[in-house]
Amino acid sequence: MLVDVSAVSTRATVLGTEIEMPILVAPVAFQLLAHSDGEAGMARAAASAGTVFCLSSLTSMRAAEVAGAAPDAKRWMQIYLFRDRAVTHAMIEEAMESGYEALLLTVDAPYAGRRERDLRSGFQVPAEIRAPAIEAAVGHRSLTTTEVFDLVDPSITWEDLERLCNEFDLPILVKGLITGEDAALAVEHGAAGVVASNHGGRQLDNAPASIDALPEVLEAVDGRIPVLLDGGVRRGTDVAVAVAMGAEAVLVGRPALWGLAVNGEAGARRALEMLAQELRLALALLGAPDPSALTAEHVQRRR
């Protein structure tokens, strides 16, 4: 209290890049399902918010098309390792040529989780929503969603991460771990950062919340690489808590997607603006003029 908060900034740094707020747009598959603006609209919304847009490898628009539509967006690309490594490589190369600056290797989805609501509703990705980046990488063959998921290699190990880090001159973050042991392995095998994440609770049932896993991940990483977090971030105060605990930034999946579904690019922009405004207010009420002023002293664990 009684800190001058007449000028509060949400600016932060992630992986050495300055961004307007420590809130990134998480990789979310098939965004044309939500709105015809698709990934291009989401990337433009991220650019307006001055933050990083992460493209899913299950994108419904090509990486180059998204880059062309949103040249000002800071772009990262999420990847899976496919059984045919040439497919992964082709996708990474397209991403690099299109100015994507980091890769997120998702490690918590060797298989898709059992999503009971989808099973009950009989949800299927409609045939007109394609995965053009993957289709191009497999030699312009059209693939059903099941065929796309079957391309993912469930046999990958930490050695594959190390190989990938040596093969590509891009920072590679490991997304989807929730234990200190895995975080330490990620550091040892060359990761440039980790995202503490349980895939938004969509993969392993009973997995801990990422915010509860954050302390042990931070302890294991011990400041050697940045730790980010995603899952359940819904308000500016959630962002402040994660950053106060030691996360460099958070990612949001559904909040931005819901915005896109409601009103395309403008809806996603609005969702990100709301988070920015809430974070600014949370910082002011915490007596923190910017996110870097947040410390563990600002949070208290529930007893």
Ligand X SMILES: Cc1cc2nc3c(=O)[nH]c(=O)nc-3n(C[C@H](O)[C@H](O)[C@H](O)COP(=O)(O)O)c2cc1C
Catalytic site positions: 199
268 and 41 Cβ atoms separated by less than 8 Å: yes
- Is 27 among the residues that bind ligand X (CB under 6 A)? yes
Q: How far apart are CA 124 and CA 130, in angstroms?
A: 12
- Is 22 among the residues that bind ligand X (CB under 6 A)? no
Minimum separation from the CB atom of position 224 to ligand X (A): 23
Nearer to ligand X, 28 or 217 (CB): 28
Piece of 5-13, 126-134, 246-254, 289-297 that binds ligand X (CB under 6 A): 246-254
Q: How far apart are CA 91 and CA 111, in angstroms?
A: 20
Report CA-CA distances (Å) from 280 to 8, 237, 275, 285. Answer: 6, 9, 9, 9
- Is 249 among the residues that bind ligand X (CB under 6 A)? no
- Is 78 among the residues that bind ligand X (CB under 6 A)? yes
Pick one of 37, 230, 248, 278: the residue that binds ligand X (CB under 6 A): 230
Q: What is the DSSP track for 207-220?
A: PPPHHHHHHHHHHH
Which residues 83-122 are close enough to bind ligand X by CB under 6 A?
A: 106
- Is 48 among the residues that bind ligand X (CB under 6 A)? no
- Is 254 among the residues that bind ligand X (CB under 6 A)? yes
Which residues 159-178 are close enough to bind ligand X by CB under 6 A?
A: 175
Q: Which residues pair with 252 in a beta bridge?
A: 25
DSSP code for 38? H
Piece of 23-31, 68-76, 118-126, 273-281 that binds ligand X (CB under 6 A): 23-31
- Is 38 among the residues that bind ligand X (CB under 6 A)? no
Pick one of 156, 186, 197, 268: the residue that binds ligand X (CB under 6 A): 197
Which residues 52-71 are close enough to bind ligand X by CB under 6 A?
A: 56, 58
Alpha helices for 25-142 (secondary structure H): 38-49, 63-69, 85-97, 116-121, 132-137
Give the pairing of strands 172-177 and 249-252. Answer: unpaired
Buried residues in 138-163 as b, exposed as e (16+ CB within 10 A): beeeebebeebbebbeeebebebbeb
- Is 229 among the residues that bind ligand X (CB under 6 A)? no
Q: Which residues pair with 54 in a beta bridge?
A: 76
Q: What is the DSSP track for 109-178?
A: -SS----HHHHHHT----TTS--HHHHHHTTS----HHHHHHHB-TT--HHHHHHHHHH-SS-EEEEEE-
Nearer to ligand X, 232 or 259 (CB): 232
Piece of 90-98, 248-256, 265-273, 291-299 that binds ligand X (CB under 6 A): 248-256
Closest CB to ligand X: residue number: 253
Nearer to ligand X, 8 or 183 (CB): 183
Which residues 121-150 are close enough to bind ligand X by CB under 6 A?
A: none
Nearer to ligand X, 60 or 98 (CB): 60
Pick one of 12, 21, 25, 28: the residue that binds ligand X (CB under 6 A): 28
170 and 101 Cβ atoms separated by less than 8 Å: yes
H or E, element range at 1:
none
Pick one of 253, 259, 267, 291: the residue that binds ligand X (CB under 6 A): 253
* Residues at the interface with ligand X (CB under 6 A): 26-29, 56, 58, 78, 106, 175, 197, 199-200, 202, 230-233, 252-254
